[in-house]
Amino acid sequence: MENKTIYILAIESSCDDTSAAVLSNDKTLSNVVATQKIHEEYGGVVPELASRAHQQNIVPVVHQALLKANIDKKQLSAIAFTRGPGLMGSLLVGTSFSKSLALGLEIPLIEVNHMQAHILAHFINDESTPNRPVFPFLAMTISGGHTQIVLVKDYFKMEVLGQTLDDAVGEAFDKSAKILGLPYPGGPLLDKYAQLGNPKAFIFPKPKVADLNFSFSGLKTSILYFVQRETKNNPNFIQENRNDICASIQYTIVKILMDKLKKAVKITGINQVAIGGGVSANSGIRSALKIAEKKEGWTTYIPKFEYCTDNAAMIGIVGYLKYKKGSFTQQDISAKARYSIQES
């Protein structure tokens, strides 16, 4: 039994990406993601449209994941799925599908916390990233819906040390990009232009927030007022200064994140730092972490790009770890839009 290969089919549907992956123990055999283009014309994710698109995508995505992995569904050991947090309609599609398939195949069902999966993605056995965090370590989860600093004591012992009191960092990037007239999703575009500009061209206020918590709503407002004021004086201000504006916004956001992370390291005495979530693909954050590694003496862990954004492989690694400890889920499980890491 010890040498038995465990095959996990993982399903992720927390927001607007439908993803399915197959893992052989802790290795990824396939990781298929279907993105939803429909939200671009609305400038943000529309929950009802997202859940409808998941319904259309989930069967072909799962089929593709099994084909790419060269695995028959009868070989599967268990099905892992995202229970939450996320958009309720989207979560319901993945939850319902997973429950039905597990029931039909008569195999165990494993529920996974999406944010926990972003952290544990570092434990996927990938030859290109051989180093894995050693417990205890600090994890900063940064995405469109979350900004948290988490003390990770073990795979399933995590404590949230600080989190956003209002908007998430991903939303701050996307809304700032929208103010500048960039198409959705604007965060990656803002990052692209930021690399061409002067990060100290414009000064934006950094919010004063107690302890290890974050706030980004005030920053978004200050950016809006700044752009409105400058374009009133010069209608071509954004076009003439786009790279510098993007660089200054990114510099400010990264500084906010890094200041809190440095504070967390100082408080806990833990200098092993990992990041996870969609915003961990941002070049400014990656660069700042590498600088901190040399300057502060940290050991940093940065995930591969494919494991940053929402994907099923990260759900699969949690499924594998839970399978090994026999942590299975009953069929009466329901999706949970608000779901803390500490509840997992």
DSSP one-letter string for 98-121: HHHHHHHHT--EEEEEHHHHHHHG
Amino acid symbol at 28:
T
Residues 168-193 pLDDT 10s: 999 999 999 999 999 988 899 999 99
**Rounded CA separation 127/26 (Å):** 12
pLDDT of residue 39: 63
- CB neighbour burial string for 167-198, b if at least 16 within 10 angstroms, e if fewer: bbbbbbbbbbbbbbebebbbbbbbbebbeebe
Closest by Cα among 112, 88, 84, 109 to 98: 109
Residues in the chain, overall count? 344
Can you give the pLDDT at residue 93? 95
Measured from the Cβ of residue 136, the count of other Cβ atoms closer than 10 Å reads 16
Pairing of the two strands 27-35 and 299-301: unpaired
Q: Report, as an integer, the average pLDDT of 54-83.
A: 95
Q: Looking at the predicted structure, is the pLDDT value of residue 203 above 50?
A: yes
What is the C-alpha to C-alpha distance for residues 74 and 155, in angstroms, rounded to an integer?
29
* pTM exceeds cut of 0.85: yes
Segment 117-171, tens digit of pLDDT: 999 999 999 887 778 999 999 999 998 888 999 999 999 999 999 999 999 999 9
E-strand stretches of the chain: 7-12, 17-24, 27-35, 78-84, 109-113, 137-142, 147-154, 157-163, 272-276, 299-301
Tokens (6 digits) for 150: 């988490």
pLDDT above 70 coverage of the chain, percent: 96
Strand, helix or coil for residue 311: coil
